[in-house]
């Protein structure tokens, strides 16, 4: 039987979340800790100091993933929990941090309780989940699961030409451990929902059934810079107009293909002057759909549109794929464990698909995986105003604890581990 009376220390979890958020504090409630930046290093250092304070075995792997392990009483495969502590350029306090610090809180709570679990528990902070600085996103978990190699990832550059391998080394997080060195029985990730559903529809816990498919593209559009007053419209080769038309076409696709969401997140004009027709634009497009076939349809329609647009607008358009991940369902037994944990604590729980990408989608390809969502106030995320009520943070932490306890005792399910 798993004990049901143990609870996390909510104040400690929240105070660690606030302490981490002070690193890279943007002064407007948010945080900026781009992957492998100086602020990411400081956030990592703080996290590692907490792992050591709790007495965990700390390992850094060759892609900078940070792992803390509390051994169990047998050598059965441990339960791994975690997320990421990097942020987007103007991020909030909770995206990723909650999953990492929630996992640490669960482990510390169990250690303090004196309970001896047959399975060990481990926490992981994955490198560059956000993909805001280096693409693709979920890089650390892609390497952990073997989906990408170190040789592929080290040369990836940011917009200033700095590469992953050099930046890992520079900040002191090019570790010695092999990515994937720990073979867990299961992976659990606590996360804020980052959308409005739980907040608008009664709160409680989300038992996440999977992550939708994601496609990121960068378009490089080349036209001709020219005088904005003297050049008759029919003679212009306007890269800026082509970029606008790509954005609008993608937005139209969201109404044409059910489930599609689209976002033009980066756009850079060159030259960028009031009276010059833009000659060159680099822009990004983020397309997602819970259904792989529908996302493929959206990508195909985009490609046809872009080909026609080149001719029509007199520009050339190159496309570079930045990320492409299929829809990833989670393990039914693990989803059930999350539901049981929430119900045992008296929280309403509903099944939902994640709109955001997460390290869990990679972990799900190698180990039974599920995620726990807590409400995001007004559904706001990737924004300094991102907020989750303390009671929901604590509820999420306790659901993670209850699910981890159930899984850590479940030696019968340990086929091969």
- Six-digit token pair at 46? 């703080």
Chain Cα centroid distance, residue 75: 30
Q: What is the distance between the alpha carbons of residues 304 and 317, in angstroms, rounded to a whole number?
A: 12
Examine residue 95 and tell whether it contacts Mn ion (CB under 5 A). yes
Does residue 363 bind ligand GLV (CB under 6 A)? no
Q: Which residue blocks in 60-209 are alpha helix, DSSP H?
A: 97-113, 139-144, 150-153, 164-170, 197-200
Q: How far is the CB of 328 from Mn ion (least distance, A)?
A: 15
Name, in order, each residue with C-beta under 8 angstroms of 133's C-beta and a sequence gap of 6 or more: 34, 35, 36, 37, 86, 158
Rank residues 72 and 91 by Cβ distance to ligand GLV and give the closer one. Answer: 91
Phi, psi of 219, rounded to the nearest 5 degrees? -105, 130
Is 96 one of the binding residues for Mn ion (CB under 5 A)? Answer: yes
If binding means CB under 5 A, how many residues of this protein chain bind Mn ion?
Answer: 2
Query: At 236, is the secondary structure helix, strand, or coil?
Result: coil
Instruction: Report if residue 410 touches ligand GLV, rule: CB under 6 A.
Output: no
Q: What is d(CA 231, CA 229) in angstroms, rounded to the nearest whole number?
A: 6
| Binding partner at 137 among Mn ion, ligand GLV, none, C-beta below 5 to 8 Å by kind | ligand GLV
Q: Segment 211-230, which members bind ligand GLV (CB under 6 A)?
A: none
Q: How many Cα atoms within 13 Å fall on the side-chain side of residue 64?
A: 32
Alpha helices, H only, 316-373:
332-344, 359-363
Q: Residue 357 binds which one of ligand GLV, Mn ion, none, with CB within 5 to 8 A depending on kind?
A: ligand GLV
Q: Which of 87-95, 214-222, 303-311, 400-408 is the region at the interface with Mn ion (rule: CB under 5 A)?
A: 87-95
Least distance (Å) between residue 413 CB and ligand GLV: 30
Residue with smaller CB distance to Mn ion, 126 or 154: 126
Closest listed residue to residue 407, CA positions, set 361, 375, 367? 367
Radius of gyration of the chain (CA): 23
Q: What is the DSSP letter of 171?
A: T
Q: Among residues 40 and 137, whose Cβ is nearest to ligand GLV?
A: 137
> Residue from 357, 368, 384, 397 that binds ligand GLV (CB under 6 A)?
357
In the block, tokens 């997140």 appear at: 265
The Cβ-side half-sphere exposure at 165, using a 13 Å CA radius, reads 8
Nearest approach, Cβ of residue 215 and ligand GLV (Å): 12
Note whether 356 binds ligand GLV by CB under 6 A: yes
Q: Least distance in Å: CB of 403 to ligand GLV?
A: 23
96 binds, among ligand GLV, Mn ion, none (CB under 5 to 8 A by kind): Mn ion
How many alpha carbons fall within 13 Å on the CB side of residue 214?
Answer: 22
Of 98 and 402, CB closest to ligand GLV: 98
Residue 364: contacted member of ligand GLV, Mn ion, none (CB under 5 to 8 Å, by partner type): none
Q: Cβ closer to Mn ion: 95 or 199?
A: 95
Nearer of residues 213 and 405 to ligand GLV, judged by Cβ = 213
Closer by beta carbon to ligand GLV, 96 or else 102: 96
Query: Per this entry, what is the length of the chain?
Result: 417
Which is closer to ligand GLV, CB of 40 or CB of 130?
130
Residue 114 neighbours by CB under 8 Å, 6+ apart: none
User: Which residue, chain included where needed, has tokens 């002064």?
Assistant: 27
The C-alpha atoms of residue 383 and residue 381 are separated, in whole angstroms, by 5
Sign of the C-alpha dihedral computed for residues 118, 123, 124 and 129 taken in this order:
positive
Query: Could you say whether residue 189 binds ligand GLV (CB under 6 A)?
Result: no
Residue 105 binds which one of Mn ion, ligand GLV, none, with CB within 5 to 8 A depending on kind? none
In the complex, the smallest distance separating the C-beta of residue 209 from Mn ion, rounded to whole angstroms, is 17
- Which 3 state secondary structure label does DSSP give 245? helix
Residue 130 binding ligand GLV, by CB under 6 A: yes
Q: Is 206 in the site for Mn ion (CB under 5 A)?
A: no
What does the alpha-carbon distance between residue 78 and residue 55 come to, in Å, rounded to a whole number?
Answer: 17
Q: Which of 108, 137, 199, 386 binds ligand GLV (CB under 6 A)?
A: 137
Residue 392 partner contact from ligand GLV, Mn ion, none using kind-dependent CB cut-offs of 5 to 8 Å? none
Is there binding between residue 85 and ligand GLV (CB under 6 A)? no
Measured CA to CA, the distance from residue 369 to residue 357 in angstroms comes to 14
Report the residue number, 96 or 278, with the smaller CB distance to Mn ion.
96
Query: Which residues are at the interface with Mn ion (CB under 5 A)?
Result: 95-96
Query: Which residues are at the interface with ligand GLV (CB under 6 A)?
Result: 130, 137, 356-357
């Amino acid at each position: 039987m798993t004990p049901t009376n143990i609870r996390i220390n909510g104040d400690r979890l929240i105070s660690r979340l606030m302490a981490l958020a002070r690193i890279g504090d943007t002064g407007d409630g948010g945080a900026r800790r781009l992957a492998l930046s100086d602020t990411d290093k400081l956030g990592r250092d703080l996290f590692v100091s907490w792992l050591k304070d709790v007495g965990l075995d700390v390992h850094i792997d060759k892609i900078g993933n940070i792992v803390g392990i509390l051994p169990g009483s047998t050598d059965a495969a441990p339960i791994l929990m975690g997320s990421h502590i990097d942020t987007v350029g103007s991020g909030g306090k909770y995206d990723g941090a909650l999953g990492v610090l929630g996992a640490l809180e669960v482990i510390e709570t169990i250690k303090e309780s004196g309970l001896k679990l047959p399975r060990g528990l481990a926490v992981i902070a994955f490198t560059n989940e956000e993909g805001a600085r280096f693409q693709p996103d979920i890089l650390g978990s892609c390497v952990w699961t073997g989906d990408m190699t170190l040789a592929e990832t080290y040369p990836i550059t940011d917009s200033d030409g700095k590469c992953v391998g050099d930046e890992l080394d520079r900040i002191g997080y090019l570790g010695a451990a092999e990515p994937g060195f720990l073979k867990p029985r299961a992976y659990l990730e606590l996360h804020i929902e980052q959308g409005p559903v739980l907040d608008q529809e009664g709160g409680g816990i989300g038992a996440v059934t999977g992550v939708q498919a994601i496609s990121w593209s960068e378009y490089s559009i080349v036209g001709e810079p020219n005088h904005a007053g003297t050049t008759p419209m029919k003679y212009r080769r306007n890269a800026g107009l082509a970029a606008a038309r790509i954005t609008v076409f993608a937005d139209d696709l969201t109404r044409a293909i059910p489930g599609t969401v689209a976002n033009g997140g980066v756009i850079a004009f060159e030259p960028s002057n009031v009276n010059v027709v833009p000659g060159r634009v680099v822009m990004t497009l983020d397309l997602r759909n819970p259904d792989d076939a529908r996302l493929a349809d959206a990508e195909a329609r985009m490609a046809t549109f872009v080909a026609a647009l080149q001719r029509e607008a007199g520009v050339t358009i190159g496309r570079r794929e930045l990320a492409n991940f299929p829809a990833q369902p989670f393990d039914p037994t693990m989803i059930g464990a999350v539901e049981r944990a929430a119900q045992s604590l008296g929280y309403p729980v509903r099944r939902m698909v994640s709109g955001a990408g997460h390290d869990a989608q990679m972990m799900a390809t190698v180990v039974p995986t599920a995620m726990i969502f807590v409400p995001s106030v007004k559904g706001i995320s990737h924004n300094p105003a991102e907020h989750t009520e303390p009671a929901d943070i604590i509820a999420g932490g306790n659901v993670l604890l209850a699910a981890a306890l159930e899984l850590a005792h479940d030696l019968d399910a340990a086929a091969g581990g």
